[in-house]
Structure 1
Amino acid sequence: MEPVASEVMDSKFLESMAGKQSFLKRMFTVFISQEPKRLREIRKALEEGNEEQLRHLAHSLKGGSATMGVARVRDCCLALENAAKAHDLKAAEALIPKLETEMRRAYAFMFNYLDEH
């Protein structure tokens, strides 16, 4: 089932991009090409117990997802960043499945948008 825009992307962000289709497509393409690597790096930092790297990566992905209007990913990243700051790797580990789910939803929306435009 295809994700509904309002469940994945911030509607105000999408409205702000009206008439900027080529720019939005470039943004989506960059996000899709860059962020899976960052997600792998987040998993690796967690596996290695590297709290500082985990915090840094979560912070970076939070910024990228906020820029893209992907609020649920941003919220997951904020929680992950806070868990790393609190030295709570168990909490961080528990957040990864939700982050991965929200990332998949964002990718699906973006791929669909690119296919349609």
Structure 2
Amino acid sequence: MTVLRIVANLAAPEPEKAAAFYRDLLGLDLVMDHGWILTFAAPGEQAPQLSVASEGGSGTEVPDLSIEVDDVDEVRGRVAAGGHEIVYALTDEPWGVRRFYVRDPLGKVVNILSHGR
């Protein structure tokens, strides 16, 4: 048996409210739309991953999602321009990631990060 994919499912009474955030802000493609469920994906292959945590690191809350990007500073600029709530400021963490937390339109806390600089 091989795990082929892991999908995060976020409960939302109005899924379309997430479209601009995940599509426009992060550049994800809308790959499925049944009205009651929207699925966004990045191009290319990703290895399935699942994190289980007692905290989010550096004493932060556990985020609902972690999304790795190639340029966290660029995304941070878009988030600021869009007026989204920053939950945890842009930080260079001692374990080698640069990250910040933002609250999405559904109220979910999203960890946006890049590895190494």
Q: TM-score, normalised by structure 2?
A: 0.27
Which structure is higher in RCO with an 8 Å CA cutoff and minimum separation 6? 1
Which structure features the higher share of strand residues? 2
Which structure features the higher share of helix residues? 1
